[in-house]
Structure 1
């Protein structure tokens, strides 16, 4: 097996060179390429370069015109992306050696492993800065990055593994957490315990209002999500025209028909919606509702008169923009 490490001259460089050495010690044939200036290497990167050299592997200067280098990167089994880290803030310019290195990695048949973050992905937003590496796996350090969970970065990061690199725990705890991923343990801690003698009336009643001809999936998925997250009794109000579709899909939620006009909810549906909402703990309004034909009027009227906590979603939000 063979591997390659493409290293920038920043803080990630030493990580890439160290990874190349470890791959060599595992028995792989390895080449390491420096994309940038040797003079800008950090002391840590210089030390890793020395240790790699002691293994008989020299750090090579990256040359976009060198076909032997390109053939190695495209044909090896694993590639380490250590071009840029989380500090990247400006786009990777076209026609630069860095752009060529990104393109080679994306063209390679190898498994691409990014050090800390896929090069070219904004750690803060997940946006692509010019161009970005498409990693199969990202080994990120200390904490996950927001850009690995949102935007294009979520798809470009591959499988993300968080690894401890020795940052003091007190320092990590002192950081301001800007986001929280919703995972099983988080959800379990956030949801109240369920009584052993509870029933569907114990765990809350939810009313969902939405749907239109051509938009039957959104209200169904909303109802299914409400059931999956523990709502005791889920009612789904949809236009009469699509009620048979929802009734056939829903097993745990209870769909019911509402007056419609041309396949969308009619203002005449207001009174029944208000009556049903009064008997519920929360209301979701808008999934697949469609636009026009009195929908905006209905949404505004319901917003003013429903007293229960409400989630306004999708076309419910669009209705406000149509005012």
Structure 2
């Protein structure tokens, strides 16, 4: 059975070898009408979401699978690449608190109890039908919390890497009481977009987000939109060592330069600044300024390594420079990492 397929209730008697089934023995229906309607609403949002992120000529193709739908969208990306993406809606987990997990099931059951064979089949069947990417979406209200576009050809390797990462975290006790491998969700191969159940659990979804060729579509600036903070200038490119040249001039010449920078997710910046509430998060400083944009968002391991809240602190310009250039910058960043990790853990 294909992933996401839910059998109509009237097919159960044949499956169970019975010609009839009375109301008392009839299995419960796994999908409610409310669930199916919510799924359709989310699928209706896919095309406008892609268009808002600069995709053009978006074609939304659907076909019925039981009571649900299978969805493939084709479009031209902002970079001019033509893609065909199979859409998979994620599920979230929560227990009396904000959700801690976002994950996408790739298939309901294994083929011959073989994980590698199953993943290869998922990849090969998708590619044979012309699908180039999987689009994993986590719906929320009228939008999406996460939107990961990943090459179909890399899906087995991404799954295997998440599986191995989960095994390592379990073996070293970094997942606490969790003993079930993330990627092996019962008998269902699964990819994770988020896990904040323990301070180290993020390492599993980080595999996907850092994989070459995977695009975080939610981080793309909306067409016609702009950051509420204005231009962001608080990463390493504004912390270069000062030039030794002391000479100057009146009415200096204006020149045009081509600038290269690492794209960041403005949601991370907002989250870190909101957490700091205007106070420098360096424990040895903790000064406050009564005006916005006073604090810089410092990426402890560098923005090219990870643009995640666990890797960021909001600190004043003086502490930001110290974190990059002070003789004891290693010790400073070790302490800042403890601050960020503790705050990230408390947030979950």
Q: TM-score, normalised by structure 2?
A: 0.24
The higher radius of gyration belongs to: 1
Structure with greater proportional helix content: 1
User: Which structure has the higher relative contact order (CA within 8 Å, separation 6+)?
Assistant: 2
